[in-house]
Amino acid sequence: MQQNVTGQMRAAAFTMVADDRTRLLVLGSLPGQASLAAGRYYAHPRNQFWRLLSPVVGADLMAMEYQARLATLLGAGIGLWDVVESARRRGSLDADLREVEARDLRGAAARLPALRAMGFNGAKAFAIGRAQLGDDFPLPLIALPSSSPAHAVGIEAKQPAWAALGVWL
């Protein structure tokens, strides 16, 4: 990460976690500071991502090591990625994203032969993804409530939208 004079860091996202079996690609905006420091998707201890996906895959992702979590998602047909390749941001909030370089989501979709839908973790990820993919994109684009601890809605309110992802698997 590079820091500019305003204290904003240029953060670069992680590589895609997906394979030929991926039927659902879940996309965040850009990993936050805790995730970037750990080198892992959704590493912040209060992020609800792994709790929200556990019922979808039928396994306790929270009890697993990171690599086992990824393998379980892949085995269930779920891939992970982010809509932002890199951006400047102070802190971890999506509202603070600046100089956003979006990813080639159409190209990614073309490389995933089993892909049936894309789910977007949070409003910012959905807005960037939808803007890039356009109205003519042939797959469903699903807006999900953010799993971030900054999205101050309880997990009980978020769970129905996330549980509905199971239909795409």
| pLDDT computed for residue 3 by the predictor | 42
Average of pLDDT values for 148-163?
Answer: 91
pTM for the model stands at 0.89
Distances (CA, A) of 39 to 47, 48, 107: 15, 18, 24
Tokens in use for 42? 């959704």
Q: Which CATH number fits domain 16-83+105-168: 3.90.245.10, 3.40.50.300, 3.40.50.150, 3.40.470.10?
A: 3.40.470.10
Place of tokens 């978020």: 158
Which pLDDT tens digit goes with each residue over 27-76?
A: 998 777 888 789 999 999 999 999 999 999 999 999 999 999 999 999 99
Residue 1 is predicted with a pLDDT of 42
Each residue's pLDDT tens digit, 97-118: 667 778 999 999 999 999 999 9
SS3 string of 80-121?
EEECEEEEEECCCCHHHCEEEEECCHHHHHHCCCCCCEEEEE
- Give kind and range of the element (H or E) at residue 133: helix 123-133
* 27 DSSP β-pair partners: 81, 120
Position 157 scores a pLDDT of 96
Beta strand ranges found along the chain (DSSP E) = 2-3, 9-12, 24-28, 78-82, 84-89, 98-102, 117-121, 141-144
Domain boundaries, the chain: 16-83+105-168
